Amino acid sequence: MDERPLDLSSLDPARDPARWRAVFDATLVRVDGVLAQRRQDALTLIAGWQRPLLAAAAAAVLMLVPVEVALERRETRAETLQGLVSASEAWAQEGRVPTGAELLRAMDTGSAP
């Protein structure tokens, strides 16, 4: 690593104002040339992004919807399992065996009867 300070004095516009004005003017000439070659204005250019952006949004939705559906199913299964666990704990504490109807009810509601 070089421990000497970096000399940026050559970038100081006040040091040689005529040179910096020439650089600035040359840059403006090039920018104006590029803008003159374009056949459309800025709003038309931005409006041209509509289709690619819509396609990207549609692709994102197509990817996210199945993920959301899978997460909802997983959440529903977790609630059902939690209902069965809590119902089983209640039945075990009472010392009784549940009927099939009680098991189905616990699975449907997600809670102990």
b/e string for 59-86 if b means 16 or more Cβ within 10 A? eeeeeeeeeeeeeeeeeeeeeeeebbee
- DSSP-assigned letters across all residues of 45-68: HHHTTHHHHHHHHHHHHHHHHHHH
Residue-wise pLDDT for 8-59, tens only, equals: 888 888 888 998 899 999 999 999 888 888 777 778 878 888 899 999 999 9
Question: What does the pLDDT read at residue 30?
Answer: 94
Question: What does the pLDDT read at residue 59?
Answer: 95
Q: Is the pLDDT of residue 110 over 60?
A: no
How far, CA to CA in Å, does 62 sit from each of 3, 24, 65, 67, 74? Answer: 54, 48, 6, 9, 19
Nearest Cα neighbor of 112 from 85, 76, 75 is: 85
Mean pLDDT of the region 60-64: 93
Q: Is the pLDDT of residue 111 over 70?
A: no
111: Cβ–Cβ under 8 A, 6 or more apart, which residues? 83, 86, 87
Question: What does the pLDDT read at residue 109?
Answer: 60
Residue-wise pLDDT for 67-109, tens only, equals: 888 888 777 777 777 778 888 888 888 888 887 788 777 777 6
- Per-domain boundaries in the chain: 17-109
Please state the pTM of the whole predicted model: 0.37
